[in-house]
Amino acid sequence: MAKVAVKKKAAEPKARKKQTKGMIVLTVIFSVVSVFYVMPVFVVFMNSFKTNSGIARNLYAFPNEETFNKLANYIKGMTFANYPFYKAAFWSLFITVGGVVLILFCTSMCAWYLQRSNTIICKIIYILCIFSMVVPFQMVMYPLSKTADTLHLDTPWGILVMYLGFGAGLAVFMFSGFVKSIPLEIEEAADVDGAGPLRTYFQVVLPIMKPTLISVAILETMWIWNDYLLPYLVLKKGVYRTIPIHMQYLNGSYGQSDNGAIMALVVLSILPIVVFYFACQKYIIEGVVSGAVKG
């Protein structure tokens, strides 16, 4: 027995050395991969301070005395076409916040009801929500835009309903997985204390859902904030613009485009979403795992 113990102790340092070497190799590999991911963002930021001729001449060159355009690209991007950038930013913010809040509120309550009311109808609704995730947007964009015109949903308020429909599939899937992991005894205790369904949901279930709520909010925010096609198809032209639509107007006819101003607007548009993502990133893995794996 003593010999076996000695062999185990001798084998432990070797195993640790192998793990350390493996971690070093993985760190180097993922560091190189991260550089490739960060490179496009850095290139966009660098070119946002260059003239169009400088960008066309060499996309990856640093700005110099000849190509450095100071803040002219940012000023042009924020003031061109008689539609100020702050107005497009406001509508993007309104649609994103409104759409995410509506998705979180409706889908979390829906997922909780579907999992607790284990009926055939609820199972069918859940399957339909999952099926909606695999339907390409291109299949429904024409009837959707036609319906939006007919029902006068071509406003920032109307488009929130459409985002709820498109975002419900993933959100219901993640919330349903998390609800399965919530002990039913907690809700039964609330019922014994006299809490009704709404009070049980808002005071008991919803606080427990916090990790998945944040994860779904991050995913839906990144999608809605960067979405171009749905607002372009639905919103009234010339009246409402989101940031992606505002950037599109910098592309002129016959292939002419102001690349410097476009890249300046790209930098301005990604800053809020990057800050939001880094502020909430620690909840992503916890929420995705608890919402999509448990149960």
- On whether residue 52 sits in a domain, the answer given is no
Please state at what angle helix 210-226 crosses helix 85-116, rounded to 10 degrees: 140
Residues 140 and 263 in one domain: yes
**What are the φ/ψ torsions at residue 61 (nearest 5 degrees)?**
-85, 145
Which residues constitute the domain of residue 144? 74-292
Residues 7, 78 within the same domain: no
Question: Are both 14 and 154 inside the same structural domain?
Answer: no
Q: Give the number of other Cβ atoms within 10 Å of residue 222's Cβ.
A: 15
178 & 79 share domain: yes
Please report whether residue 60 resides in a domain.
no
Considering the domain architecture, whether residues 99 and 143 belong to the same structural domain is answered as yes
149, part of any domain: yes
Q: Which amino acid is at 292?
A: A
The model carries a pTM of 0.81
Instruction: Give me the percent of the chain exceeding a pLDDT of 70.
Output: 87
For residues 26 and 111, membership in a common domain is answered with: no
Q: Is residue 65 in a domain?
A: no
Q: Is residue 191 part of a domain?
A: yes
Phi, psi (rounded to 5 degrees) for 257: -150, 150
Q: What is the dihedral of CA 64, 70, 74, 76, to 10 degrees?
A: -100
Q: pLDDT tens-digit profile of 203-229? A: 888 888 888 888 889 889 989 999 998
pLDDT at 6 (0 to 100): 47
Q: What CATH number is associated with residue 155?
A: 1.10.3720.10
Q: Are 156 and 115 found together in one domain? A: yes
User: In terms of pLDDT, which residue wins out, 96 or 62?
Assistant: 96
Asked if residue 196 has pLDDT above 50, the reply is yes
Query: Taking the mean position of all CA atoms in its chain, how far away is CA 278?
Result: 12
Residue 267: inside a domain, yes or no? yes
Per-residue pLDDT at 9 exceeds 60? no
pLDDT at residue 11 tops 90: no
Same structural domain, 21 and 95? no
pLDDT of 16 reads 64
At residue 108, does pLDDT exceed 70? yes
Q: Are residues 11 and 125 in the same domain?
A: no
Strand, coil or helix: what is 257? strand
- Split into its structural domains, the chain has a count of 2
Is there a single domain that holds both residue 234 and residue 88?
Answer: yes
The answer to the question of residue 68 being in a domain is no
pLDDT band at 292 (very low <50, low <70, confident <90, very high): very low
Greater pLDDT, 179 or 4: 179
Task: Specify whether the CB–CB gap between 259 and 55 falls below 8 A.
Answer: yes
258 lies in some domain: yes
Same domain, 121 and 174: yes
Residue 94 and residue 21 share a domain: no
- Which tens digit of pLDDT belongs to each residue from 26-56? 888 888 888 888 888 898 899 889 988 888 8
d(CA 251, CA 245): 11
